Amino acid sequence: METQQTVLVTGGSGFIASYCIIALLKSGYKVKATLRSLNKSELVKQMLKEGGLRSVEGLSFAEADLENESSWEKATEGCQYVIHVASPTPHTDAKTEDDFVIPAENGVLFVLRAARKAGVKRVVLTSAFGAVGMGTVKTTPYTEEDWTVLNETVAPYQKSKTISEKAAWNFIETEGDGMELAVVNPTGVLGPILSDDFSHSIQNIKQMLNGDMTACPKLISGYVDVRDVADLHLKAMTMPQANGQRFIAVAGDGFSLLDVANVLRKNLGEKAANVPTRELPNWLIKLLALFNPKLKAVEPYLGMVKRASSEKAISQLGWKPRSTEEAILATATSLINLGIVKTK
């Protein structure tokens, strides 16, 4: 029966991956989720229940590591599809770009080789907007035609995403043996968190609610709800027209950090008492960055306007993302409900 096909989801304990698992199980697929250590499997089940999944029937786990090629052959066995979300998070002792780039590129190739050997029909790769819109300046929204230009302004993580996505397309073209590939490029991922492991974009909202961000740096970027990112992965996996295509996941137009703060204050009342009300001038952040490593990390992005278009996913796949406001509020509510931020 069509519905009992098995999908391998890599990096099963991650934020996007857990929502992909929920969407797949609800759609009647069997899911095999990879973890670096099977000790995490109970935590993952707990996260899925937090995400509204009633039963974890149809879910199994496999131990696999992006730095160990042989672990992927066993993981991909018996799978018709692969959703490759896992991305190596460099340990804090990552000193060089290679600590990001090499495991990311090798990891993609290990998974693709194993998938080809297992006779997988299609792989969906989770790339990032970091592979689309960095290293360049555009006044119009970025589209799937755009690629990050690798220069000294591009951060190691974004570089790793760009190089590993290009490696995937090259593999499919030169040695894919007819296996299909589709790619999803999410912008800043928001949405209801399931544990204290969540995306970088959510850190901003956490800092605002906690009062750790007293004023907003001037940054404009796109955002998207994690539930819609998972839905787009499912569409990219199943729809014939998605084969050989990349899709940007973004809801609406870009939001500045101050726009995000304004949405929180407008809707959360007292709970948003700590949220900043103003923007910091760029010169001030550059000055403070001399003494503050956290601000130093923000400095390259100051004044950056990164708008992106999801027209392709909407028109070709019928994707319908929630609004950015809804994604922001779902994020904040879950941070408050799980006790991760202390509000009044």
Question: What CATH number does residue 82 fall under?
Answer: 3.40.50.720
For residue 328, being part of any structural domain is answered with no
Given a contact cutoff of 8 angstroms between Cβ atoms, the answer to whether 123 and 82 are in contact is yes
Averaged pLDDT, 283-311: 82
| Per-residue pLDDT, 163 | 96
Supply the angle between the helices 257-268 and 324-337 in degrees, to the nearest 10. 60
Separation between Cα atoms, residue 298 and residue 161, nearest integer Å: 19
Q: Which of 133-147, 180-194, 296-310 has the lowest mean pLDDT?
A: 296-310
Separation between Cα atoms, residue 183 and residue 190, nearest integer Å: 19
**Does residue 28 carry a pLDDT above 80?**
yes
Averaged pLDDT, 51-76: 94
For residue 41, being part of any structural domain is answered with yes
| Per-residue pLDDT, 123 | 98
Domain of residue 7: give its range: 2-191+224-250+309-321
Please say whether the dihedral angle defined by the alpha carbons of residues 51, 57, 58 and 61, taken in this order, is positive or negative.
positive
Q: Cα-flanking dihedrals φ and ψ of residue 83, to 5°? A: -110, 110
| Per-residue pLDDT, 232 | 98
The mean of the pLDDT values for the chain is 92
Cα R_g (the chain), whole angstroms? 20
SS3 277: coil
Averaged pLDDT, 44-73: 94
**Does residue 40 carry a pLDDT above 60?**
yes
Total residue count of the chain as it appears in this document: 344
For residue 186, being part of any structural domain is answered with yes
Averaged pLDDT, 285-313: 83
Burial class for 294, CB neighbours closer than 10 Å (0-12, 13-18, 19+): exposed
Q: Which of 13-22, 50-59, 271-280, 294-303 has the lowest mean pLDDT?
A: 294-303
SS3 8: strand
**Whole-structure pTM value:** 0.94
Given a contact cutoff of 8 angstroms between Cβ atoms, the answer to whether 81 and 122 are in contact is yes
| Per-residue pLDDT, 316 | 98
**Does residue 1 carry a pLDDT above 50?**
no
Averaged pLDDT, 264-282: 94
Averaged pLDDT, 269-283: 93
For residue 196, being part of any structural domain is answered with no
Nearest Cα to 204, choosing from 154, 260, 158? 260
For residue 291, being part of any structural domain is answered with no
For residue 258, being part of any structural domain is answered with no
Averaged pLDDT, 168-195: 96
Q: Which of 47-61, 190-204, 288-302 has the lowest mean pLDDT?
A: 288-302
161 is catalytic: yes
Binned at pLDDT 50, 70 and 90, residue 56 comes out as very high
Tokens representing residue 174 in the block: 């030169």
Given a contact cutoff of 8 angstroms between Cβ atoms, the answer to whether 189 and 199 are in contact is yes
**Does residue 300 carry a pLDDT above 90?**
no
Q: How many CB atoms lie within 10 A of CB 320?
A: 10
Binned at pLDDT 50, 70 and 90, residue 105 comes out as very high
Question: Which one-letter amino acid corresponds to residue 158?
Answer: Q
Strand order in the sheet with 6-9: 59-63, 30-35, 6-9, 81-84, 122-126, 180-186, 246-249
Given a contact cutoff of 8 angstroms between Cβ atoms, the answer to whether 213 and 156 are in contact is no
Separation between Cα atoms, residue 268 and residue 215, nearest integer Å: 18
Domains of the chain: total = 1
Averaged pLDDT, 73-88: 94
For residue 245, being part of any structural domain is answered with yes
SS3 93: coil
Q: How many CB atoms lie within 10 A of CB 278?
A: 10
**Does residue 280 carry a pLDDT above 80?**
yes
DSSP alpha helix (H) spans, 118-256: 156-175, 200-210, 226-238
Binned at pLDDT 50, 70 and 90, residue 191 comes out as very high
> Of the residues 30, 159, 161, 206, which is catalytic?
161
For residue 330, being part of any structural domain is answered with no
**Does residue 161 carry a pLDDT above 70?**
yes
* Residue bearing tokens 């800092």: 207
Binned at pLDDT 50, 70 and 90, residue 92 comes out as low
Q: Which of 94-98, 107-111, 121-125 has the lowest mean pLDDT?
A: 94-98
- Listed in sequence order, the residues at least 6 apart from 159 whose beta carbon sits closer than 8 Å to its beta carbon are 97, 100, 101, 148, 150
Separation between Cα atoms, residue 220 and residue 257, nearest integer Å: 7
Q: Cα-flanking dihedrals φ and ψ of residue 246, to 5°? A: -110, 150
